[in-house]
Structure 1
Amino acid sequence: MRSPAPGPRRRPAVPSLPSLPSLPSLPALRPPSFTGRLHDARTATSVGRWLGAAFAVCFVTGLISHYLQHPPGWAADSLPSRPVWGYRLSQGLHIATGLAAIVLLLVKLWTVYPRLFVWPPVRGLRHALERLSVAVLVASAVLQVFTGLLNIAEWYPWPFGFIQTHFALAWVVAGSLLLHIAVKAPEIKAHWSRRSPGTLQLPAGEGPDRRSLMLGVGAAVGAVTLTTVGQSFTPLGRLDLLAPRHPDHGPQGLPVNRTAAAAGITERAVRDWRLEVRGPVPYSLTLAQLRALPRASVWLPIACVEGWSMEARWSGVRIGDLLARAGARPGAGLRVTSLETAGSYRVMEMGRDYAEDPLTLLALELNGRTLTADHGYPARIIAPNRPGVLQTKWVTLLEVL
């Protein structure tokens, strides 16, 4: 007999697992929503007017500063030596408005930052180009003002040259700002007046209104200006709390940016010092012979690119007299060489207006005393309407051009 076919095997029972709780559904991702007058077009336009004015002053005065320091060849003999306070005023305005622009730029960015969250981020080619232009404007403006701030403090934590980069960025900021104004012209026009049609009033208790914001911005700009402008506008020198330089602090009552030690000037280097003058009739003078020449005294400011300036009494020999003794023809320029071993301004040139100006001296004394080593002993240049970096110290050679 056949054995019965085996039946299907039964699997052992598996204990049932407890049911898991259902996960909560995630909310739909939506861009943040911003409301209130402090982020509207009217507020942005109000702050933008101040910021645009500050940038305009910075741009014009920056061009003046740059071309006085680095004049193109065709303009070297056309730079004016008068008014004597010209560079002091223009550079003081440049630094003062640049510091004010930092406050205004931060507030401007605060008023418009909700637009970063506009969705969709690009709504077409024109919108994409507009957003790209804004990105260029914001990036260049932020880089410009903050590198300028670090330059005032003489701190350069970057590998590129500051002067060339600052000058090039100024044109980028100016160009992108003009483009931005052109694109936003209808909106700016609509919100330029004090009252814009259709503006909603803030509900009570919702927060500070636009007037309070603008008053706060004005107070912040005023505080920054009052506590820094004293470095160039000396009547406010007592309030000069935040500026990196106090104009009356330093040897012989003047600040010093580059000391003799930093320039590599030692006692040995000046022990046997002689002034060499090259021209049609070359000659050289010892310090005693130079002091024996007819002297002149002038009251001139020295103004630095960092923004500080201070008037002082200088005494020495007129550059025009030294050039005439070397047989220089009328209208000749001058090349000046310093004893310092290195530096961007070790060799300096000045055009005929400066060289022939009776206020331009090879100075030997400052405020009635012999120059200290840090102020350029044995001799230095002092000229009217001239950046401080071009008032060459430790002069050893004059060449008629």
Structure 2
Amino acid sequence: MKLPAPPTEKSFPSPLHHPRVATVIGRWLGLAVAICFLTGLFSHLQQDTPGWLTIPSRPASLYRVTQGLHILSGSVAVPLLLAKLWTVYPKLFAKLPWPPSRKALTTILERGSILVLVSALALELFTGFLNTLQWYPWPFPFKQTHYALAWIIVGALLVHLAVKLPLILAHWRRTPADSTPVADSLPPAITGLTRRGLLRTVAGGGALVGITSVGQSVPAFGPVAVLAPRKPNVGPQGLPVNRTAKDAGVTGIGANWRFTITGPRKLSYTLDELRNLEQNRSDLPIACVEGWSQGAHWEGIRIRDLLSLCGAPPGSRVRVVSMEKGGFYATSELPPEFADDPLTLLALRLNGAELALDHGFPARIIAPNRPGVLQTKWVHRLEVIA
């Protein structure tokens, strides 16, 4: 029995596998990847700020917007990546030029960059999606791996663009040739779709994914956010909880609990004494790295007022210490820009009521333009850093 010949690039004659289609979808995918990378970089720098960089505390909702865009662009990138792969996969069956030549080396470089790009991008999107569900079925640290993969994707993408630049430029704009009927030698697409129909389908699919997931950060789309893992207004006191007090090993406070500040002068307060200090209000969102965000009303003592009471000068850096037992975020630091901001509070109340234990009772940090993981809960000590 004679085996069928292996497929070649010409075995896929559908007009939907046209460079113009690949270029248009590639533009959309490139935009999604760029937004996802830049907003993800901002989030990483928020959590691991190098000494030479200053993160501003305003606009107060900046992190809410950037992290919402990060998750949204990553979600939309999934159908775009699948569509892009479908348009170009026949190229994988093209034979390498022989004998070896410059064209052969270019082809090898192109395929190598595609292999790295697709593998890294697929792993990035997959692990990012599981992160939104707070499920980590792997032995490696998510944050560091996610960050490293982002740079691998950018590098592979730049190589791929450099190799394919002539073809991309040739099909960047719509030409009369793109509107001409398919040559008689080519059969119509099996699906019956035209190129324009395919592009509309892909755009519609990406928009549908975006609309049904963005509701976790845009309340107007909350009712249709069927793909969003979190409903921002669902939880104690109308706010979700990522890490419960039980998970953090916090069971509450005893009768001898005291809040302390160590600085030029060491101060110590009971909870009632904290309540008797001047109270202020901040309307700020909790914006989580998983993409959800929700605005809330917070009441408590301004951090800058506490620093003034202990004799710390303006521009001081503050370490925040939680009662949490271990974990990556049992401590955090407030740079001077945040410690001095009048919106930054040691919050005692949330939405008109005393903090729930899962929201950080007896006290937590709330500051503008900060990731939720740095809004430390169950705070019992502030340390002024020289």
Common fold by TM > 0.5: yes
Q: 5+ residue gaps in structure 2?
A: none
State the aligned residue count.
375
DSSP 3-state at the match of 1:74: coil
Contact kept, 8 Å, 2:20 with 2:178, in 1: the verdict is no
CA distance in 2, matches of 1:50, 1:28: 36
Q: 1:189 to 1:264 in 2, by over 3 A?
A: same
**Aligned-pair CA distance for 1:155:** 1.0
Q: Which residue of 2 aligns with 1:287?
A: 271
Q: What pairs with 1:70-81 in structure 2 (closer than 5 Å)?
A: 70-75=48-53, 78-81=54-57
Q: 1:205 to 1:316 in 2, by over 3 A?
A: closer
CA-to-aligned-CA distance 1:146-182 (integer Å, 9 cap, x gap): 1111111111111111100111111111111111111
2:33 counterpart letter in structure 1: F
DSSP 3-state at the match of 1:72: coil
The question of 1:31 aligning with 2:15 is answered: no
Contact kept, 8 Å, 1:226 with 1:236, in 2: the verdict is yes
Between stretches 270-279 and 298-307, larger displacement belongs to 270-279
Q: 1:26 to 1:261 in 2, by over 3 A?
A: closer
1:275 counterpart letter in structure 2: F
CA distance in 1, matches of 2:155, 2:176: 28
Q: 1:46 to 1:205 in 2, by over 3 A?
A: closer
CA distance in 2, matches of 1:143, 1:121: 31
Q: Which residue of 2 aligns with 1:111?
A: 87
Q: What pairs with 1:241-256 in structure 2 (closer than 5 Å)?
A: 241-256=226-241
Q: What pairs with 1:88-237 in structure 2 (closer than 5 Å)?
A: 88-120=64-96, 124-195=104-175, 197=177, 201-202=181-182, 206=190, 207-237=192-222
**Aligned-pair CA distance for 1:227:** 1.0
2:270 counterpart letter in structure 1: T
Contact kept, 8 Å, 1:88 with 1:309, in 2: the verdict is yes
The question of 1:48 aligning with 2:8 is answered: no
CA distance in 1, matches of 2:369, 2:189: 55
1:135 counterpart letter in structure 2: L
**Aligned-pair CA distance for 1:74:** 2.6
Q: 5+ residue gaps in structure 1?
A: 1-23
1:83 counterpart letter in structure 2: P
Q: Which residue of 2 aligns with 1:13?
A: none
Q: 1:266 to 1:25 in 2, by over 3 A?
A: closer
**Aligned-pair CA distance for 1:364:** 0.3
Between stretches 158-167 and 193-202, larger displacement belongs to 193-202
**Aligned-pair CA distance for 1:297:** 0.9
Q: 1:28 to 1:292 in 2, by over 3 A?
A: closer
Q: 1:358 to 1:116 in 2, by over 3 A?
A: same
DSSP 3-state at the match of 1:313: strand
**Aligned-pair CA distance for 1:298:** 1.2
**Aligned-pair CA distance for 1:73:** 2.2
**Aligned-pair CA distance for 1:126:** 2.8
CA-to-aligned-CA distance 1:195-226 (integer Å, 9 cap, x gap): 26377634567521111111111111111111
CA-to-aligned-CA distance 1:331-369 (integer Å, 9 cap, x gap): 111000100101101110011010000100000000000
Q: 1:276 aligns with which of 232, 247, 260?
A: 260
Q: 1:198 to 1:209 in 2, by over 3 A?
A: closer
**Aligned-pair CA distance for 1:135:** 1.0
TM-score, normalization by structure 2: 0.93
CA distance in 1, matches of 2:178, 2:275: 76
Q: 1:270 to 1:384 in 2, by over 3 A?
A: farther
Contact kept, 8 Å, 1:333 with 1:400, in 2: the verdict is yes
Q: Which residue of 2 aligns with 1:385?
A: 369
Contact kept, 8 Å, 2:7 with 2:93, in 1: the verdict is no
Q: What pairs with 1:12-31 in structure 2 (closer than 5 Å)?
A: 24-31=1-8
The question of 1:240 aligning with 2:225 is answered: yes
Contact kept, 8 Å, 1:378 with 1:395, in 2: the verdict is yes
Identity fraction in percent: 54
1:116 counterpart letter in structure 2: L
Contact kept, 8 Å, 1:190 with 1:196, in 2: the verdict is no
**Aligned-pair CA distance for 1:56:** 0.7
CA-to-aligned-CA distance 1:26-67 (integer Å, 9 cap, x gap): 455453611112112111111001000001111111111110
Contact kept, 8 Å, 1:96 with 1:225, in 2: the verdict is yes
Contact kept, 8 Å, 2:96 with 2:107, in 1: the verdict is no
CA distance in 1, matches of 2:234, 2:7: 57
Q: 2:36 aligns with which of 58, 74, 83?
A: 58
DSSP 3-state at the match of 2:16: helix
Q: Which residue of 2 aligns with 1:313?
A: 297
CA distance in 2, matches of 1:164, 1:29: 42
Rg larger in 1 or in 2? 1
1:231 counterpart letter in structure 2: Q
CA-to-aligned-CA distance 1:107-129 (integer Å, 9 cap, x gap): 11111111222224886333222
CA distance in 1, matches of 2:188, 2:240: 53
Contact kept, 8 Å, 2:8 with 2:90, in 1: the verdict is no
Q: 1:82 to 1:31 in 2, by over 3 A?
A: same
